[in-house]
Chains A and B, each alone.
Chain A
Amino acid sequence: MRLADTLQFAFGSLRGSPARTLLMILAMSIGVAAVVILTALGEGARRYVINQFSSLGTNLVIVLPGRTETAGIGPGMLIGQVPREITLEDAQALLRSTAIKRIAVLTIGSASLSLDALNREVVVLGSTHDLLDVRHMSMGVGSFLPSGDIHDTASVCVLGKKIKQELFGNMQAVGAWVRLGDRRFRVIGVMASQGESMGFNTDEIVTIPVASAHQLFNTSGLFRILIEARGRDYVEQAKHDAETILFQRHNGEKDVTVITQDAVLGTFDRILTALTMAVGGIASISLAVAGVLIMNVMLIAVAQRVKEIGLLKALGAPPKQIRTIFFAEAALLSSIGSVAGLVLGYAGSMLIGYLYPTLPVSPPWWAVIAACGTALVTGILFSVWPARRAAKLDAVTALAGR
């Protein structure tokens, strides 16, 4: 029997019982669609996090105060000692390393911002001029914090795009005076809109010089130091240098944590890829269920078509040919189901992408191939038994319909 004839014959018998066929295709396609959509979500989450991290800047090394020990509770914790804070001098000392191109210090707090009768709470970021380059931010109007002495407590501020809109509307903001906490600041610039990144919505932040922030919040420590290494190859050296410098300055105590952006990125990448695969694996269980369904329905089909099978035998079809016909039916079902599932899955992914535009939803290619492959293999595998059963039928009893 020719392949084209086999397929045509199988297709004919599938069309002969449309309800059965449609149900099986539905089961298969739901399985495939589940794998496609769930892995697309997992992949979307992975890309989202990685984009967020990448948008922080390039070749970043981050210094944060305190140190998480995996060896248990340190003595400092028991006597209520807080980790030594990172000072502006510490930050400046980092620039001695040749691997470090520039740094941006961060202090964070919240204060009420008011202009005449308008008033709101805002997140205040204390930083320096270099933050603009380290974080790859861009200005809308005016200029960013002045470069110069890190200890300069100039009363200038840069507004986020949204805050500017709320306070000033369409009026000119640069040059105006606003009140931040108990001090007056002159607006020297407005940031361009850049949306959210790593939980910070830069559109809703007011940036002031770090020394002014220390005065405003009455602190002297830094929340973070962002270090930009000279290049990709210098990241490890920059990390090492930062650790050494701070170790020396803190009297031989390792009380800061230095992480590289790549390490964090890599960790997230691994975790989220594993998550995507796990979710895909769970979804593929539904494919196995669909396979069992195909087997079940195939067995019923064999029972229903006993006479036809007997006839085919009488007309000279060898057992192998009868098996092939049933395999062809299973393969057709699985492939139609896969295609329908892919269409459904991609449509679902696009719908999610439409509903949550920030999530870059797209099914990974390996999941698509795996889903279709699993569908085909389970479909054919689970039809082995029914097909063998059909081929083994005794022609005489089959023709008698017993």
Chain B
Amino acid sequence: MIELQNVNRSFTVGDQKVLALRDINLRLGDGEYLSIMGPSGSGKSTMLNLLGLLDRPSTGDYLLDGGNVTELSDEQQARVRSEKIGFVFQSFHLVPRLSAEQNIELPMMLAGIPVDERKQRVAKLIDSYGLNDRADHRPDQLSGGQRQRVAIARATVMNPAVLLADEPTGNLDSTTGWEVLRLLEQLTERGITLVIVTHDAEIGARAQRQIHMLDGRIVSDEARSNATS
């Protein structure tokens, strides 16, 4: 359960104040599948960073699972990120010197989970994402699709409530892109809230709920037009 209340975010560029987000109000239920679309500079990335607690709103409140996370300290926000939020990036952001396995293990290592449990959970994910023969390969030995699957495994290994994906298919060819997308969509069936930021209308159209942004405002918020459910 995510709620943004009257959120504004402004940056000072030079001596000019730029409003990246204006008066955003948004409610997202558990397991919802949301796409945020809009041209570059429309504020969709800022919105994602706010949702991921990487950025703070200038004014307004952010409630996550009923608690106000806006006022938390850096340390507390880091904890919330660790426990509730998963990120998938356009450029994967895998640590180049670590193997696929170790990359997936990283969030659990940071959270201080015991080694035995880490190994178990990694093995399970490696298996379910079909990375068995790639587990000890470093990122530069993996294909784009494999890299993004490792990244998704890493984002889900802590069983987050929310998964935030910033152009997850942007660096992939279309076939692999669709595969990755289907993988992400399957996660919503397990109750994970999925938020995808994209400027590709075709990808955005697959989400149950679609938001269009322009100049920091939500200009449209609609359910999927050809909804089957």
Instruction: Spell out A's residues near B (CB within 8 Å).
Output: 1-2, 5, 9, 12-13, 15-16, 307-308, 310-321, 395-396, 399
Can you sample 30 A-B contacts with CB below 8 Å? Answer: A1-B109, A2-B109, A5-B112, A9-B109, A12-B97, A12-B98, A15-B97, A16-B97, A307-B93, A308-B95, A311-B93, A311-B95, A312-B106, A313-B54, A313-B78, A314-B52, A314-B54, A314-B87, A315-B107, A315-B110, A316-B78, A316-B85, A316-B110, A316-B111, A317-B110, A318-B79, A321-B110, A395-B54, A395-B55, A396-B54
Query: How far apart are B62's CB and chain A's nearest CB, in angstroms?
Result: 15
* In the assembled complex, B82 has its CB within 8 A of some CB on chain A: yes
| Total of A-B residue pairs, C-beta within 8 Å | 70
- Which B residues are in CB contact (< 8 Å) with A315? 81-82, 87, 106-107, 110, 154
Query: How far apart are A258's CB and chain B's nearest CB, in angstroms?
Result: 74
Contact bitstring B36-80, A, C-beta under 8 A = 1, else 0: 000000000000010010110000000000000000001100111
B74 near A318 with CB under 8 A, answer yes
What is the CA–CA distance of A321 and B78 in the complex, to the nearest angstrom? 10
B75 near A316 with CB under 8 A, answer no
What is the CA–CA distance of A308 and B74 in the complex, to the nearest angstrom? 18
Query: How far apart are B10's CB and chain A's nearest CB, in angstroms?
Result: 15
B97 near A13 with CB under 8 A, answer yes
- Which A residues are in CB contact (< 8 Å) with B49? 395-396
- Which A residues are in CB contact (< 8 Å) with B81? 313-316
B79 near A316 with CB under 8 A, answer yes
Instruction: Spell out B's residues near A (CB within 8 Å).
Output: 49, 52, 54-55, 74-75, 78-83, 85, 87, 89, 93, 95-98, 106-107, 109-112, 154, 158
Residue of B nearest to A315 (CB): B107
B109 near A320 with CB under 8 A, answer no
- Which B residues are in CB contact (< 8 Å) with A316? 78-83, 85, 107, 110-111, 158
- Which B residues are in CB contact (< 8 Å) with A312? 106, 110
- Which A residues are in CB contact (< 8 Å) with B112? 1-2, 5
B55 near A1 with CB under 8 A, answer no
Residue of A nearest to B95 (CB): A308
Query: How far apart are B71's CB and chain A's nearest CB, in angstroms?
Result: 16
Residue of A nearest to B49 (CB): A396
Known: A2-B112, A315-B82. 15 other contacts (CB 8 A): A1-B112, A16-B97, A311-B93, A312-B106, A313-B78, A314-B81, A315-B106, A316-B80, A316-B158, A317-B110, A318-B78, A319-B78, A320-B75, A396-B55, A399-B89
What is the CA–CA distance of A317 and B107 in the complex, to the nearest angstrom? 8
Residue of A nearest to B77 (CB): A318
What is the CA–CA distance of A320 and B79 in the complex, to the nearest angstrom? 12
Query: How far apart are A8's CB and chain B's nearest CB, in angstroms?
Result: 9
- Which A residues are in CB contact (< 8 Å) with B98? 12
Residue of B nearest to A316 (CB): B82
- Which A residues are in CB contact (< 8 Å) with B158? 316
What is the CA–CA distance of A312 and B81 in the complex, to the nearest angstrom? 11
- Which A residues are in CB contact (< 8 Å) with B78? 313, 316-319, 321
Query: How far apart are B134's CB and chain A's nearest CB, in angstroms?
Result: 19
- Which B residues are in CB contact (< 8 Å) with A308? 95
Query: How far apart are B94's CB and chain A's nearest CB, in angstroms?
Result: 8
Query: How far apart are A302's CB and chain B's nearest CB, in angstroms?
Result: 15
- Which B residues are in CB contact (< 8 Å) with A2? 109, 112
Residue of B nearest to A8 (CB): B109
- Which A residues are in CB contact (< 8 Å) with B154? 315
Residue of A1, A12, A395 with most partner-chain B CB within 10 A: A395
Residue of B nearest to A314 (CB): B87
- Which A residues are in CB contact (< 8 Å) with B89? 399
Query: How far apart are B153's CB and chain A's nearest CB, in angstroms?
Result: 13
List the 10 shortest-distance A-B pairs measured between CB atoms, nearest first: A316-B82, A318-B78, A16-B97, A316-B81, A395-B54, A318-B75, A315-B107, A317-B110, A311-B93, A5-B109
- Which A residues are in CB contact (< 8 Å) with B79? 316, 318
What is the CA–CA distance of A313 and B80 in the complex, to the nearest angstrom? 11
What is the CA–CA distance of A305 and B74 in the complex, to the nearest angstrom? 21
Residue of B97, B106, B110 with most partner-chain A CB within 10 A: B110
Query: How far apart are B27's CB and chain A's nearest CB, in angstroms?
Result: 24
- Which B residues are in CB contact (< 8 Å) with A320? 75
Residue of B nearest to A318 (CB): B78
Query: How far apart are B13's CB and chain A's nearest CB, in angstroms?
Result: 13
Query: How far apart are A2's CB and chain B's nearest CB, in angstroms?
Result: 6
What is the CA–CA distance of A16 and B139 in the complex, to the nearest angstrom? 14
What is the CA–CA distance of A321 and B112 in the complex, to the nearest angstrom? 11
> Within the complex, which residue of A1, A13, A399 is in contact with B110, where a contact is CB–CB below 8 Å?
A1
Query: How far apart are B67's CB and chain A's nearest CB, in angstroms?
Result: 16
What is the CA–CA distance of A326 and B189 in the complex, to the nearest angstrom? 40
Query: How far apart are A380's CB and chain B's nearest CB, in angstroms?
Result: 22
- Which B residues are in CB contact (< 8 Å) with A12? 97-98
